[in-house]
């Protein structure tokens, strides 16, 4: 209703008789909200800088590689699709470290969770939405350069079938990286409610583990113990997923040595699955404790 | 129908600390005050009613829904304003309230409309587009109240909504609470550790202490017992006291001042006349603000 005089009238309190949508809608809304948040969409300009910068840093090398292949007319890409995420693991690590605390520590630190859990949203649904949003955000970050590489390969008229198969394997691997890293990042962030600490903790855990894995593998190769070098891949989440994608998807290992034999492959896959399950369980445990406080 | 019904509701933490002890109470619709000292079990009761905390023993129903089995439905129909700070500083009030409306199941368009309406009703206008980090305590309390109302609940649970507010902010908040109950037609359960402020806005008052029910009565009954006047005169207090007692007023010296039971308006006239007769100066005549424990003491002394 418009007022002819143009004056503002107090229309009084209006009741809401419209639909109240169920848990699926609520969970989906939280997922979309968190995914947008991971890239700073709908937030201040300042919170867009970090994720978009990292997305650019992640994609620029792929652009350069694609350009080089197109210009020089090379007959293959300089870097396999499956090795790309491991080669740029520092960028991925920083993204997890910056965005996982943004996603969960913020709600915990400012106690916004009490506003969520006093609504129909269950703790399970909250954890699921946050986990899925972080996974998809990471998938976007990791898959974007792979798509760029693939487009470059096609423009350079490299083998269509080989590249299509390889990029599919690469994307499947990207999903694995995203799930494992999202789980780890969120768990670490959820247990360190102060955002600064959360960032530091995620960086420390991921980089230190990668460093240890690399060192052990280096020494083992030096000592000609390829089996030890292979098992050492279990130490870091990056080499762990790399091992899984090399065993399950037949990708070329990014490290000196992939998982040793079929036993190694099964162990790597089981560890990865258990790790994700453990992260989910720990997150649920964390939020059970929160709402009782 | 009673809005909230509890039967033998008990909550102990780690088997040692008792927050609620066999609380059995029926809370009617309307504006209801839940009064108790800090640690009396008010917040624990609210969390159990929302299904956020399981009861150790006993049962509770909200809007005729069982808290143990139908907590999700309860949370659809109830709004909750926590006592503590719970607002993220980096978003605006509008963004937060729209998002939380969706979290209550409102479609996006409805969420936007309701958020704008509700923020206006609680008295946030242009400032609602600014990040919450820069808000005053009074504005934050209004945002917390708005998110509790945005989905048009049938009942709101307000935990210490006047905490941290200055006297003017307190009056505004209490007036708003009264409006929610009367104009909006939403039942309110509001907690406070101050009896005085709740008796002004509540239809019914429930008093708990140490997790036990002390009293559940209509506000009129409660205030009838609690209203007192504090009288301070410049001199000869004992003579004033004697004369007042002779005139049939219940009076009790407390230190240098006199405590007088306020029956009705005539009591004021009586005090004025007696003070004038004795011919002393009237330093102070004031309605007493009573801590809820006063009710308890009074109950114990004069049942």
ipTM confidence: 0.88
B103/B287: higher pLDDT: B103
At A69, the pLDDT band (50, 70, 90 cuts) reads very high
Whole-number average pLDDT of chain A = 90
Residue B132 CB partners (closer than 8 Å, separation 6+): B87, B88, B89, B90, B91, B92, B93, B96, B140, B143
First vs last Cα of chain A: how many Å apart? 47
Distance from CA of B68 to the nearest CA of A (A): 14
User: Which range, of A201-210, A244-253, B141-150, B179-188, averages the lowest pLDDT?
Assistant: A244-253
Chain A contact set for B183 (CB, 8 A): 12-13
The closest CB to that of B88, out of A110, A120, A122, belongs to A110
pTM: 0.84
- Give me the mean pLDDT over the A201-207 stretch: 92
B104, A30: Cβ pair inside 8 Å? no
Residue pair B130/B136 in contact by the 8 Å Cβ criterion = no
Residue A289 in contact with partner chain B when CB distance is under 8 A: no
Lowest-pLDDT range, A2-6, A139-143, A179-183, B99-103?
Answer: A2-6
Q: Which of B19, B106, B151 to mutate to test the interface with A (most CBs of A within 10 A)?
A: B106
> What pLDDT does residue B16 have?
82
Task: Read off φ and ψ for residue B22, nearest 5 degrees.
Answer: 45, 55
CB contact under 8 A, B75 and A118: yes
Nearest CA in chain B to A14: B184
What integer pLDDT is reported at residue A258 of this predicted model? Answer: 77
Residues 6+ apart with CB under 8 A from A235: A209, A212, A213, A216
Residue B296 — very low, low, confident or very high, per pLDDT cuts 50/70/90? low
Q: What is the mean pLDDT of chain B?
A: 88
B279 to chain A nearest CA, in Å? Answer: 53
More confident residue, B146 or B216: B146
Cα angle B236, B237, B240 (rounded to 5 degrees) comes to: 95
pLDDT at A3: 42
Q: What is the pLDDT of residue B225?
A: 54
Per residue in A4-16, pLDDT tens?
445 555 568 899 9
Examine the pLDDT at B219 and tell me if it is beyond 50.
yes
H/E element holding B69? none
Q: Would the CA dihedral through B237, B242, B247, B252 be positive or negative? A: positive
* Distance from the A90 Cα atom to the nearest Cα atom in chain B, whole angstroms: 28
pLDDT at B302: 40
Q: B110: which chain A residues are within 8 Å (Cβ-Cβ)? A: 16, 18-19
Chain centroid to Cα B18, Å, comes to 22
| Chain A: residue whose CA lies nearest to B145 | A115
Cβ separation A16–B103 shorter than 8 A: no
The pLDDT of residue B289 is 54
Confidence bin at A148 (pLDDT 50/70/90): very high
Q: Which helix (H) or strand (E) holds B10?
A: strand B4-13
- Please state, as a whole number, how many other Cβ atoms lie within 10 Å of the Cβ of residue A215: 12
State the pLDDT confidence band at B303, using cuts at 50, 70 and 90.
very low
- pLDDT classification of B271: cutoffs 50, 70, 90: confident
What is residue B37's three-state secondary structure?
A: coil
The dihedral built from the CA positions of residue B183, B185, B191 and B195, taken in this order, carries a sign that is positive
Residue A293, pLDDT score: 47
> What's residue A1's pLDDT?
45
Q: Number of helices (H) and strands (E) in chain B: give both, helices first.
A: 11, 14
Share of chain B above pLDDT 90, in %: 58
| 8 Å CB contact between B80 and B147 | no
**Shortest CA gap A42–chain B (Å):** 9
Q: Which pair of tokens denotes residue B240?
A: 């004033």
Q: Strand, helix or coil at B78?
A: strand
């Amino acid at each position: 209703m418009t007022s002819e005089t143009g004056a503002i009238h107090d229309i009084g309190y209006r009741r809401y008789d419209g639909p109240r949508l169920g848990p699926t809608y609520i969970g989906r809304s939280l997922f979309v909200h968190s995914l947008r948040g991971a890239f700073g969409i709908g937030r201040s300009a300042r919170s867009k800088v970090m994720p978009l910068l990292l997305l650019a840093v992640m994609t620029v090398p792929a652009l350069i590689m694609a350009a080089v292949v197109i210009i020089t007319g090379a007959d293959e890409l300089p870097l396999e699709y499956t090795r790309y995420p491991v080669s740029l693991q520092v960028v991925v690590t920083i993204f997890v470290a910056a965005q996982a605390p943004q996603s969960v520590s913020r709600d915990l630190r400012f106690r916004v969770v009490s506003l969520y859990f006093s609504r129909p949203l269950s703790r399970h649904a909250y954890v699921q939405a946050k986990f899925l949003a972080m996974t998809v955000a990471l998938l976007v970050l990791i898959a974007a350069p792979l798509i760029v590489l693939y487009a470059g390969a096609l423009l350079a008229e490299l083998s269509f079938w080989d590249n299509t198969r390889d990029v599919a394997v690469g994307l499947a691997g990207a999903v694995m990286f995203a799930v494992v890293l999202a789980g780890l990042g969120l768990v670490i962030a959820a247990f360190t409610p102060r955002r600064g600490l959360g960032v530091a903790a995620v960086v420390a855990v991921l980089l230190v583990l990668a460093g240890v894995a690399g060192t052990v593998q280096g020494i083992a190769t030096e000592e000609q113990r390829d089996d030890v070098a292979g098992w050492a891949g279990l130490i870091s989440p990056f080499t762990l997923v790399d091992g899984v994608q090399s065993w399950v998807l037949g990708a070329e290992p990014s490290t000196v040595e992939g998982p040793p034999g079929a036993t190694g492959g099964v162990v790597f896959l089981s560890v990865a699955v258990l790790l994700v399950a453990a992260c989910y369980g720990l997150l649920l445990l964390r939020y059970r404790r929160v709402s009782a406080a | 129908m009673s809005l909230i019904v509890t039967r033998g509701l008990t909550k102990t933490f780690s088997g040692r600390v008792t927050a609620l002890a066999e609380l059995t109470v029926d809370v009617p619709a309307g504006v209801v005050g839940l009064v108790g000292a800090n640690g009396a079990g008010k917040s624990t009761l609210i969390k159990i009613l929302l299904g956020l905390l399981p009861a150790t023993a006993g049962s509770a129903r909200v809007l005729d829904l069982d808290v143990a089995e139908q907590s999700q439905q309860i949370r659809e129909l109830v709004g909750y304003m926590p006592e503590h700070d719970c607002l993220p500083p980096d978003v605006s009030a509008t963004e937060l309230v729209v998002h939380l409306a969706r979290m209550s199941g409102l479609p996006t368009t409805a969420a936007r409309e309701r958020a704008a309406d509700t923020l206006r009703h609680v008295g946030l206008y242009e400032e609602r587009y600014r990040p919450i980090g820069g808000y005053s305590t009074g504005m934050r309390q209004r945002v917390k109240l708005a998110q509790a109302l945005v989905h048009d609940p049938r009942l709101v649970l307000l935990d210490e909504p006047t905490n941290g507010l200055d006297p003017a902010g307190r009056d505004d908040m209490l007036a708003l609470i009264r409006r929610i109950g009367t104009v909006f037609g939403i039942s309110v359960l509001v907690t406070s550790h101050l009896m005085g402020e709740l008796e002004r806005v509540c239809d019914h008052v429930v008093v708990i202490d140490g997790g036990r029910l002390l009293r559940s009565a209509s506000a009129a009954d409660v205030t009838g017992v609690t209203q007192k006047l504090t009288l301070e005169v410049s001199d000869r207090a004992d003579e004033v006291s004697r004369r007042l007692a002779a005139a049939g007023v219940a009076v009790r010296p407390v230190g240098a001042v006199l405590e007088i039971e306020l029956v009705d308006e005539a009591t004021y006239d009586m005090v004025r006349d007696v003070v004038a007769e004795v011919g002393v100066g009237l330093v102070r005549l004031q309605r007493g603000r009573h801590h809820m424990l006063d009710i308890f003491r009074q109950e114990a002394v004069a049942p």
